[in-house]
Structure 1
Amino acid sequence: MRLGLAEVYNPSMLPTLRPGDQLLLSYGSRVRPGDVVVMRHPFQHDLLIVKRAVERRGGGWWVVGDNPEVTNDSREFGVVPDGLVVARAVLRLRSPRRGPQGVAVGSLVSAVRPLRVRSRRLRAR
């Protein structure tokens, strides 16, 4: 299993992922419904995007962002072929928030979190 890191740059996966979050990626891992994946954009292959794999459809994945306000996902570009899925995200690494008194304890606890299925979001739209 090959591992790597990627950084989130846009708000399409809010509230799960915020811009600036780092993702620990597993290349070649089996993708299951509910997994967060890094993939090549179907219309711009040099652009990598982060989405949630919802379900298998005709040789590919229906993917959506967790942020319903951003529609740059399968609602816009349809099913993503398997060959465009680059990796599965395993962990979110978040920089702790700093307040006036320093780093908040609660943010330290949530700085590293496994990415799990968000069942209420798993609806093909």
Structure 2
Amino acid sequence: MLTLLLSKFGEFMRLPWFTALVSGPSMVPTLRSGDRILVWRTGFARPGDLVVATFRSRPDLLVVKRVERADGDGWWVVGDNPFGTDDSSGYGRADVIGRVTFRWWPQPMRFRRMPR
């Protein structure tokens, strides 16, 4: 299961962006445990976007997944790793918190724009 730790400053200030630390294998090979991501806070997403979301059945669980499709008033999200992911097939609809815009490795100043 892929969980994230929100940047305390970004969450406290309710800035339009926040950072998160990836843990777990569900988005391999796109994201790996230990990657840091920059997330634009928005509820808008398109199929194929990487998003940070919460499942309605598990609001305490923050995940990063790929949007597969709109599902009623929520989103159907899936992981990139079919062998190690908990996604909408297990938890149902998700609410998007933000869209992943950049990933950087543990070395500072090495950014990579996330593909659409």
Per the normalisation by structure 1, the TM-score is 0.72
| RMSD between superposed Cα atoms in Å | 2.1
Give the number of the structure whose residues are more often helix, by fraction: 1
- Is the alpha carbon distance of 1:12 and 1:64 closer, same or farther for their aligned partners in structure 2, counting shifts above 3 Å? same
- Is the alpha carbon distance of 1:77 and 1:47 closer, same or farther for their aligned partners in structure 2, counting shifts above 3 Å? closer
Give the number of the structure whose residues are more often strand, by fraction: 2
Asked if structure 1 preserves the Cα contact closer than 8 Å seen for 2:44 and 2:96, the reply is no
- Aligned residue among 9, 20, 35 for 1:6: 20
Shift of 1:78: 2.3
Shift of 1:29: 5.8
Which protein is bigger by CA-based radius of gyration? 1
The match for 1:85 is 96
Shift of 1:72: 0.5
- Aligned residue among 15, 37, 44 for 2:58: 44
What SS does structure 2 have at the residue aligned with 1:13?
Answer: coil
**CA offset digits 1:3-35 (Å, max 9, x no partner):** 110010111000000001011010126311111
Q: Unpaired runs of 5+ in structure 2?
A: 1-14
Q: Unpaired runs of 5+ in structure 1?
A: 97-107, 118-125
